[in-house]
Amino acid sequence: MNQSDKKNHHKLIKENNSTSEHKTQKGSWVKRILLFGFFKKSSSTGRTVHRVVLYLAAIFFIFCALLLNYSMSSIDKKNINVLVDIPTGSSFLEVTEKLNQAGLIKHRIFFYSLAMIKKARRHICAGEYEINTLLTPSEMINKLMRGEVKEHRVLIPEDFSMEEIVARLDSEKLIDKETFIELARDKDFLESLNIKAESIEGYLFPDTYYFNRSMNTRQIMKRMVERFWEKVTPQMIKKAQDLGFNIHQFVTFASIIGKESGNDAEKPMIAAVFRNRLKKKMRLQSDPTAVYDLNNFSGKVLRSHLKRNSPYNTYVIRGLPPGPIASPGVTSLEAALNPAPVNYLYFVSKKDGSHFFSASLNEHNQAINRYKKINNK
């Protein structure tokens, strides 16, 4: 290569390098422009996302504030008790509808949210509830989750018969009457309650009870018999045995005492009369036994009643009837175990409901004539 060719070659290389550098610089500027555009676009999108996040956060905090206010405010400022019955197996939506119909839900979205936070959807208990409108929704949900159902106070007076007990419970809509009567003579049910008798009569202990409508008839009967075994202690049973009574005879004897007199102070005297008559193998001649199994009894004992051929009529049979005629309370049970130390064999009712006691038939007949005149005035 001559000198001229060398110069041309170097010039060509220089021009190529210059072109290459120009292209590189041009590509660098293009990249910068594109990158600037990207960052400018990304910055705009970022600001939009940021605004959306702030907007959603504001909505969330406002919702939380409203939910908190809802959960802590009374359902209604009026002080009203509202009854709501939640059937067994109700879904959460069905429970909500029940509460809504009762006017206990003002804002469903807040109620749903509060229930979800408390995990109440699967933990609300069935039953009848009495909800005061001064409660907060949070307190109402807690009440439903704890199963604080309405308790019905039922007083079963001493010496009520089973028929009277059934009527009392039925009036409160706490039992199924037919089921009660069937269970009262169900052998397996009675054995499960440790009752060695043909009927539950006498073992439904008279007391004040608190029942709820989620309880079934069987559970209510069981509760009353359990109360009987709480009150009739082993010591009482032992004392009854010392007097010659088994547990069933003891309850039967006490039930007759209770039905004869509502005056607790007189019951030991009544017990003494019947105890003395049993010892002498005399008929007890107790009016309540003569009408015990009588349908549609008017309340007045007639002579025809005393002649009735009934296994319970102690004017006809000797000894005790086959079972109790009522549910004796503590005073009747105690009187049966502790008869007064007297030799009386008779008594007659006075106008005020108390009795006159006699040791002889002659004295008794005189008392009958005397008090008949007084009672008829």
Residue 189 is predicted with a pLDDT of 98
Residue found under tokens 């000198």:
3
- For 359, residues 6+ apart whose C-beta sits below 8 A from its C-beta are 342, 343, 344, 345, 346
Q: Where in the chain is the domain with CATH 3.30.1490.480?
A: 81-146
For 322-375, the DSSP string reads SS-SSB--HHHHHHHHS--S----EEEE-TTS-EEEESSHHHHHHHHHHHHHHH
Nearest to 158 by CA among 208, 95, 112: 208
Nearest to 169 by CA among 131, 115, 223, 121: 223
Residue 39 is predicted with a pLDDT of 46
Alpha-carbon dihedral sign for residues 334, 337, 342, 348: positive
Query: With contact defined as beta carbons under 8 Å apart, do 159 and 262 qualify?
Result: yes
Query: With contact defined as beta carbons under 8 Å apart, do 162 and 327 qualify?
Result: yes
Residue 35 is predicted with a pLDDT of 46
- For 95, residues 6+ apart whose C-beta sits below 8 A from its C-beta are 86, 124, 144
Query: What is the architecture of the domain spanning 81-146?
Result: 2-Layer Sandwich (3.30)
* Residues 218, 185: Cα–Cα separation, whole Å: 12
As a whole number of Å, the end-to-end CA separation of the chain is: 167
pLDDT by 10-residue block (mean), the chain, 377 residues: 50 48 50 49 66 78 79 86 91 92 90 89 90 92 93 95 96 96 97 96 97 94 98 96 97 97 93 97 95 80 85 95 97 97 92 88 89 65
Query: With contact defined as beta carbons under 8 Å apart, do 374 and 349 qualify?
Result: no
* CA-derived radius of gyration, the chain: 44
* Residues 10, 207: Cα–Cα separation, whole Å: 125
What the block records as the tokens of 234 is: 């082993």
Read off the pLDDT of residues 32-77 as tens digits, 9 standing for 90 and up. 544 445 445 555 666 777 777 777 887 878 878 777 887 788 888 8
Residue 374 is predicted with a pLDDT of 63
DSSP 73: S
Residue 12 is predicted with a pLDDT of 45
Q: How many CB atoms lie within 10 A of CB 284?
A: 20
Residue 38 is predicted with a pLDDT of 46
Read off the pLDDT of residues 137-188 as tens digits, 9 standing for 90 and up. 999 999 999 999 999 999 999 999 999 999 999 999 999 999 999 999 999 9
Nearest to 285 by CA among 262, 267, 312, 325: 312
Query: With contact defined as beta carbons under 8 Å apart, do 98 and 86 qualify?
Result: yes
Kindly give the residue spans of alpha helices, DSSP state H, lying in the chain.
3-72, 92-101, 108-117, 137-146, 162-171, 177-183, 187-192, 217-231, 234-242, 247-260, 267-279, 287-290, 303-306, 330-337, 361-376
pTM metric for this prediction: 0.76
Residue 31 is predicted with a pLDDT of 52
